[in-house]
A and B are shown apart, each in its own frame.
Chain A
Amino acid sequence: MATHLDISHISIEFPTPKGPFKALDNVSLKIEKGEFVSLIGHSGCGKSTVLNIVAGLYDATEGGILLDGREVKGPGPERAVVFQNHSLLPWLTSYQNVELAVKQVFRKTKSKKEMHDWIMHNLELVHMTHAADKRPDEISGGMKQRVGIARALAMEPSVLLMDEPFGALDALTRAHLQDSLMEIQKDLNNTVIMITHDVDEAVLLSDRIVMMTNGPAATVGEILHVDLERPRERLALANDPRYVDYRTQVLTFLYEKQRKVEPIQATAKSKTVAASAKVANA
């Protein structure tokens, strides 16, 4: 069987006043159906750029993307995106936000009643039916992100792209949403690419962790297969030697092999202190 999603030798350059800036260089990745892949790397390494290229929001300068054997051009709902900052339309209720997506994708194939049921089903999946008629400014950050996930799932995407979906949430809410995501993933078995900078999140959720080197001209550094049986329990795993080992491997990559060297500026003294503190923490 051909690969479900084939990211093939993509590079991208952005024009800057100082000449073209090469953000990604020759990134290749093959992803099977139902696989959960995390992209991890230091900030600025271009992991979001990879996701945006797969989403079709950016065009790769070289290389291309094949989804089920067809080349991807431009954005589309079969590659739904969960954005970092929920990106719900603030003037629509949770229901209407999901409805906008459902109407767009299933206008021709589902009846009105079916669309309604489908919207409610997706809100149910993320446990948000109680706030269906609330607008984003009336619900908490975690709830907004749930609705954002419901909107993406409702498009029935071949690939679900998540751009640091839980990055803006507090630790407890994040853990809660990760559990929800695993539950949904068990039922739907979606193909997922998730950007993260949280090592625990990556190990807990992923089948594979793709570790990216630092930019400019970032590329895939190492790929780690996470062979932990599902369902995964965060508490049970915390002391599991395999989990600890995976975690250590990712940490080693991030903080030894690809230690981020912050540019130290003589003028910005506070920044220098912050940078050295970061190194000390690492």
Chain B
Amino acid sequence: MISSVTMTALKDKISAFSVKGILLPVFGILVFILLWQVGASRVHTSLGEFPGPVVVYEQWNSLVAEHQRERVKEDKFYVRQEERIAERQAKDPSYVGTLRDYTGKPTFFDQIFTSLYTVLAGFGLASLIAIPLGILIGLNRSVYSALNPVIQVFKPVSPLAWLPLVTMVVSASYVSDDPMFSKSFLTSMFTVTLCCMWPTLINTAVGVAAVEKDLLNVSKVLRLGWMTHVMKIVIPSAIPLMFTGLRLSLGIAWMVLIAAEMLAQNPGLGKFVWDEFQNGSSNSLGRIMVAVLMIGFIGYLLDRVMLTIQRFVSWDKTQILR
């Protein structure tokens, strides 16, 4: 039997947790929505009132409905095609039909999906370059001295400056009759890579260079080979900083991608925002606001995913990660 004392203690704990964990955040969100509603109604633009929470919610519903309509259309399109092919095959058994892809307008959710895999591809490529390079730089002072000026110059470059160059290089060098990736995807991806690799590179290098001297001595006394030294001592020890870099990189990648998509008119959430802006209907501002919130929400989720991976990989379970 559990004594009443422990029960009350337990209850206190639960209530303390729910106040901090649920009640306060919900309160914060409610206050924000209230201020948003009051503030929005006071801002007037040529496209009408600034969208408040209610308008945004309506637009969200309409975007969902649009998406569902589009899917129904798409299904019907394929069914029609298959029927047509089957019909012709009934008359002429030698006929081989080709299924054509549906070419309808991408919906809001299609654009989210496009942006997501573009950002992950760009971030993945950046990590593949930045982590090994960061390890080399951190291990070797000469490599560091040689590469540091280059890194420092390229680090602050805005994605918008890279974009025209990347576009031209991709169009010039990626020529294929049956391309595996679309050019717009490659342009966005490389721009993201170029802009987001720096925090990972620098933090990895710092983490690698900061391995405790005692541990380096252990490695020396054991005469560990280069590979074992890097795998068993350097990388584990640099992991916390490496992840700090990776999380910063992913955040930058997501911001850069939206900007690049807007500027280059490459498919994705950025293009959605720009299209709505150009469209200029009375719904546009509400839809842009939905996109803004969605961009923020996805950015948050991406960071949470990285945090979960970090918690899983990190050896120091006592470290507080947030």
- List residues of A whose CB falls within 8 A of some B CB: 55-57, 74-77, 79-81, 83, 85, 87, 89-92, 100-101, 104-105, 135, 137, 155
In the bound complex, CA of A137 to CA of B232 (Å): 18
Nearest to B212 among chain A residues (CB) is A87
Query: What is the CA–CA distance of A84 and B224 in the complex, to the nearest angstrom?
Result: 21
| Inter-chain contacts of A135 with B (CB < 8 A) | 315
CA distance A155 to B220 in the complex (A): 13
Q: If A89-B233, A89-B236, A90-B315 touch, does A104 touch B222 (CB 8 Å cutoff)?
A: yes
A137 to B316, CA, bound (A): 8
Number of B residues, CB within 8 Å of A: 19
List the A residue with the shortest CB-CB distance to B239: A91
> What residues of B have a CB within 8 angstroms of the CB of A57 in the complex?
217, 220-221
Q: A83-B214, A135-B315, A137-B316 are in contact. Are A89 and B232 (CB under 8 A)?
A: yes
Interface centre among A74, A83, A91, A155 (most CB of B within 10 A): A91
Contact B224 A104 (CB under 8 A): yes
B85 to chain A, nearest CB (A): 59
Residues 268-321 of B at the A interface (beta carbon under 8 Å)? 315-318
Chain A CB within 8 A of B38 CB: no
Shortest A148–chain B CB gap in Å is: 9
What separation, in Å, do the CA atoms of A81 and B217 have in the docked complex?
A: 9
Q: Determine if B236 and A87 form an interchain contact, defined as CB atoms under 8 angstroms apart.
A: no
Contact, CB under 8 Å: A137 / B318: yes
Q: Is B220 in contact with A75, judged by CB distance below 8 angstroms?
A: yes
B residues 188-234 touching A (CB-CB < 8 Å): 212, 214-215, 217-218, 220-224, 228, 232-233
Shortest distance from the beta carbon of B215 to any chain A beta carbon, whole Å: 6
Chain A residues lying within 8 Å of B223, measured Cβ to Cβ, are 75-77, 104
Q: Give the complex CA separation of A85 and B223 in angstroms.
A: 20
Given A85-B214, A90-B316, A137-B318, residue A80 in contact with residue B232 (CB < 8 A)? no
In the complex, what residue of chain B is closest to A152 when comparing beta carbons? B221
- List chain B residues, Cβ under 8 A from A137: 316-318
Q: What are 7 sample pairs from A and B whose C-beta atoms fall under 8 A apart?
A: A57-B217, A57-B221, A87-B212, A87-B214, A87-B217, A91-B315, A104-B222
B236 touches A55 (CB 8 A): no
Asked if A87 and B215 sit within 8 Å, CB to CB, the answer is yes
Asked if A89 meets B221 with Cβ closer than 8 Å, knowing A100-B232, A135-B315, A137-B316, the reply is no
| B contact set with A: CB distance below 8 Å | 212, 214-215, 217-218, 220-224, 228, 232-233, 236-237, 315-318
Minimum Cβ distance to chain A for residue B57 (Å): 48
Asked if A77 contacts B221 (CB within 8 A), the reply is yes
A91: which of B217, B220, B221, B236 is its contact (CB, 8 Å)? B236
Q: Shortest Cβ distance from A99 into chain B, in angstroms? A: 10
- Shortest beta-carbon distance from A165 to chain B in Å: 13
A contact residues around B318 at 8 Å (CB)? 137
Cβ-closest 8 pairs across A and B: A91-B315, A87-B214, A91-B236, A75-B220, A75-B221, A104-B222, A87-B218, A81-B221
For B236, the chain A residues whose CB sits under 8 A away are 89, 91
B318 closest partner in A (C-beta): A137
Q: Which residue of A lies closest to B222 (CB)?
A: A104
Q: Which of B217, B237, B318 has the most CB of A within 10 A?
A: B217
Known: A75-B220, A80-B221, A89-B236. 6 other contacts (CB 8 A): A56-B221, A77-B222, A83-B218, A91-B315, A101-B222, A104-B222
A89 vs B317: C-alpha distance when bound (angstroms): 14
Q: Which residues of A contact B237 (CB under 8 A)?
A: 91
| A148 nearest CB neighbor, chain B only | B218
A85-B214, A90-B315, A91-B315 known; A79 vs B221 contact (CB < 8 Å): yes
Nearest B residue (CB) for A101: B222
A101 to B220, CA, bound (A): 11
The answer to whether A76 touches B315 (Cβ under 8 A) is no
Known contacts A89-B232, A135-B315; is A76 also within 8 Å of B221 by CB? yes
Docked pose: A92 CA to B223 CA in angstroms: 18
CB distance from B42 to the nearest CB of A (A): 55
With CB as the reference atom, state the residue of chain A lying closest to B218.
A87
Q: Are B221 and A55 touching (Cβ within 8 A)?
A: yes
Q: How far is the CA of A76 from the CA of B221 in the complex (A)?
A: 5
Q: How far is the CA of A263 from the CA of B223 in the complex (A)?
A: 40
Give Cα distance in the complex from A125 to B317, angstroms.
29
Query: Smallest distance from the beta carbon of B301 to chain A beta carbons, Å?
Result: 28
What CA separation (Å) do A76 and B217 show in the bound complex?
10
Which residues of chain B come closer than 8 Å to A92, judged between CB atoms? 232
Instruction: Give chain B nearest CB distance to A95 CB in angstroms.
Output: 14
Complex CA gap A199/B283 in Å reads 85
CB distance from A150 to the nearest CB of B (A): 14
> What's the least CB distance linking B220 to chain A, in Å?
4
Query: Of B217, B220, B221, B317, which is in contact with the most chain A CB atoms at under 10 Å from its CB?
Result: B221
Provide the bound-state CA to CA distance between A55 and B215, in Å.
15
Residues on B with C-beta less than 8 A from A85 are 214
Neighbouring A residues of B232 by C-beta, 8 Å: 89, 92, 100
Contacts of B315 in A (CB 8 A): 90-91, 135
Say whether A83 contacts B217, CB under 8 Å: yes
Bound-state CA distance A232–B224 (Å) is 38
A97: nearest chain-B partner, CB-CB: B218
Cα distance, A100 to B222, chains bound together (Å): 9
A104 to B222, CA, bound (A): 7
Q: Which of B220, B236, B237 has the most CB of A within 10 A?
A: B220
